[in-house]
Amino acid sequence: MDALLFVAAALRISVPYTLAALGATFSERGGVINIALEGMMLSGALGYVLGAHATGNPWIGLAAALAAGLATGLIHALVTVRFRADQITSGLGINLLAAGLTKFILTQVFHSSSNSTRVVGMPGWRLAGLENLPALGSVLATPLVLMTVALVLVGQAALFRSVFGLRLRSVGERPEAAATLGLPVTFYRYAGVLISGALAALGGAWLASEQHSFTDGMTNGRGYIAIAAMIVGKWSPLGAAAACLLFGAAEALQITLQGSAFPTELLQTLPYVVTMLALAGFIGRAIPPRALGTPYDPEHAG
């Protein structure tokens, strides 16, 4: 039973990581580095709370989160794809923007720069008795958890088994070659970044729904952990999801050990250390898409 509770906690924790990391595979496979995940998640979290607060309907909250994530993604796409500016700097700028703007909006709507009022969370589902499973039931029967599992599978298929995925990857590997074949490079890069914004925002919405509120800086570095997971997962949805589960398990363990003499702070560094080892090539070589980080300039192509 304890083991099951632990698995349930790990699953629950890994949901927002998985959504954001899955999105990042699309952005980066298309050639755009996405350090902006943190800001996209934060925007999604606030979007959910604003939508749910205004209507009392969690689904409208979810839609508002998606809109906020797409808007944030659009800024990243405009700066990096349209204006071809540095992708890393843009990501950091967006994270700063989201941190500031969410607090700014918070003060205007909820008259506090630290937290919102309580909002409704996502409802549980009754689904073929799934909700009756011991310990795991309450996690598995949650709409966003099921959606996350489905999205990972669909994402894996879309990226590696569909025409869209093939084209997106070609744009991230050799944009000039893709353009020669008549592919609209810019369109695919926009698509990758926007998908990333939407999925990261869903992750943020999950956090806000679980907590029933928005608090200042509530994503707390999760966007960066999601990037780490995507790298450890070698830019593939399934790999990223596996890394997120690992990181989620580490975090669950850390919560279990809290208060004991065990140095939980050191356990907290596991995702970061694993990522640095992966980048250095100790856990198989993680090779980024070839044109990752390089703006595509049609005037200078070929």
Partner 1 sequence: MKAPSRAALLTASAPLIAVALALLAGAGFIAAIGEDPLAIYALMARETLGTGYGIGQTLFKATPLVFCGLSVGLGFRAGLFNIGVEGQLTVAAFAAALVGAALAHLPAIALLPLTLATAIATGALWGAVPGVLKARFGSHEVINTIMLNFIAAALVSYLGRGVFEPATVRTAEIGAGATLPRLDLLWPVLRGSPANLALPIALAVAALVGVLLFRTRLGFELRALGLNAPAAEYGGIPIGATQVKAMALSGAIAGLAGMNFVLGYKHFFELGFSAGVGFIGIAVALLGRNHPVGITIAALFFGGLLYGGLAINERVPKELVEVLLAIVILLAISVQQVIERIARKMAA
Residue numbers at the binding site for partner 1 (CB under 8 A): 35, 75, 78-79, 83-86, 88-90, 92-94, 96-97, 99-101, 103-104, 107-108, 113, 221, 224, 227-228, 231, 263, 265-266, 268-269, 272-273, 275-276, 279-281
Taking the complex as a whole, how short is the minimal distance between the CB of residue 46 and partner 1, in angstroms? 13
Tokens of 259: 């208060």
> What minimum distance in Å lies between the beta carbon of 95 and partner 1?
8
Taking the least distance from each CB to partner 1, the nearer of 45 and 139 is 45
Helices (H) and strands (E) in the chain, counts: 13, 0
Query: What is the closest distance, in whole angstroms, from the C-beta atom of residue 186 to partner 1 in the complex?
Result: 15
Total residue count of the chain as it appears in this document:
302
Quote the tokens at residue 60: 């409208």
Please report how close the Cβ of residue 79 comes to partner 1 at its closest, in angstroms.
5
Report the residue number, 57 or 114, with the smaller CB distance to partner 1: 114
Q: Are 179 and 301 in contact (CB under 8 A)?
A: yes
- Residue number with CB closer to partner 1 (113 or 180): 113
Q: Which is nearer to partner 1, 93 or 197 (CB)?
A: 93
Residue 292 and residue 52: Cα distance in Å, rounded? 37
In this structure, what are the phi and psi dihedrals at residue 115, rounded to the nearest 5 degrees?
-155, 160
Nearer to partner 1, 80 or 213 (CB): 80
Alpha carbons 190 and 53: distance in angstroms, whole number: 31
What are residue 115's DSSP bridge partners? 215
